Amino acid sequence: MILVTGATGRHGGTGAHVVRRLREEGHDVRVLARTRGERTEALEALGAEVVLGDLRDRRGIVPALAGVGQVYLTYPIDAGVVPAAANYAAAVREAEVSPRTVVMSMGPAQPHHPSARGRDQWLAEEVLRWAGLDLLVLRVAAAFHENVPALHGRSVEEEGVIRNCFGDGPVAWINGRDAGELAVAALLDPGRFDGPICSPPGVEELTHHDIAAILTEELGRPVEFTPVSEEEWRRELVGLSDVVDVVNPEMAAHITAVAAVVARNGPARGADPVALRRLIGREPTTFREFVRASR
């Protein structure tokens, strides 16, 4: 039995992809979800068992772990990842299981990163390590394509503008489904990965001028990129968090801090489509393909 967390996600949506692919491969899947609704019904329709629980409350995680041999652990870019990791580790001990745990992580999971969410993600992984869990941590070294509609969809729609503080330099990108596919590979074929903590690369490097140009071509109307300061973009995203449910003030602080680092230093790891293709065992999706498919 494989336990999947975060399968009701609406941002990268990696968990739902993991469930779909594991079911296609014939595995028994249990989903830990906070509430029931259309998303859990869709997962049940795929043949997954749904149990209710919250990663910040150990008591619901313990029964979800019964008979589980592997876990996909993901948490949104939001506050609470350290208690979530601590509760998960304590639940594994209490349930007397020893599942191999694949953790969805990100490049900024570093002890001295300017983003507090990046430092917290690193600390959460330290907690899991101290607990002696069998881990494979995927510090995906690329931004999800899905960030573009989440963070810029409204301004593109209303003003034909992308505003952020990534500057003029390149950013490494990956599709959320390909990040999910990395997790599937890590669960089913961990030998493809080079260690308990690894940094899978993105498929391509694109500046936000490139992103705007692709949107212009694919949407058939002009989209421009306007660089703004870190504080200006953070304020815009905090405002957006009232209307776009996948955006929250913690994410606003995180992504603006990450963007400021990328603007100064470039991407921590360049894109490597060949390495990504090898890891996921298929052709990765480009940003242009993502836009076409989303339309």
Ligand X SMILES: NC(=O)c1ccc[n+]([C@@H]2O[C@H](COP(=O)([O-])OP(=O)(O)OC[C@H]3O[C@@H](n4cnc5c(N)ncnc54)[C@H](OP(=O)(O)O)[C@@H]3O)[C@@H](O)[C@H]2O)c1
Contacts to ligand X by CB under 6 A: 5-15, 34-35, 54-56, 74-77, 84, 104-106, 121, 140, 143-144, 147, 176
Alpha helices in 192-272 (DSSP H): 208-219, 230-240, 249-265
Least distance to ligand X, CB of residue 96, Å: 22
38 vs 221, beta carbon nearer ligand X: 38
> What is the bridge-based pairing of β-strands 100-106 and 134-140?
parallel
176 vs 236, beta carbon nearer ligand X: 176
3 vs 7, beta carbon nearer ligand X: 7
3-state secondary structure of 187: helix
Cα 21–Cα 188–Cα 81 angle in degrees, nearest 5: 80
Q: How far apart are CA 140 and CA 230, in angstroms?
A: 23
5 vs 256, beta carbon nearer ligand X: 5
The DSSP element (H or E) to which 20 belongs, if any, is: helix 14-24
151: DSSP letter: I
122: DSSP letter: H
Least distance to ligand X, CB of residue 121, Å: 6
Q: What is the length of the chain?
A: 295
246: DSSP letter: T
Least distance to ligand X, CB of residue 222, Å: 26
10 vs 278, beta carbon nearer ligand X: 10
95 vs 104, beta carbon nearer ligand X: 104
160 vs 262, beta carbon nearer ligand X: 262
Least distance to ligand X, CB of residue 220, Å: 26
Least distance to ligand X, CB of residue 7, Å: 6
Least distance to ligand X, CB of residue 74, Å: 5
**CA R_g for the chain:** 19
Q: How far apart are CA 170 and CA 207, in angstroms?
A: 4
Q: How far apart are CA 191 and CA 195, in angstroms?
A: 9
Least distance to ligand X, CB of residue 18, Å: 9
**233: exposed, middle or buried (C-beta count within 10 Å: 0-12, 13-18, 19+)?**
buried
Nearest to 82 by CA among 53, 47, 56: 56
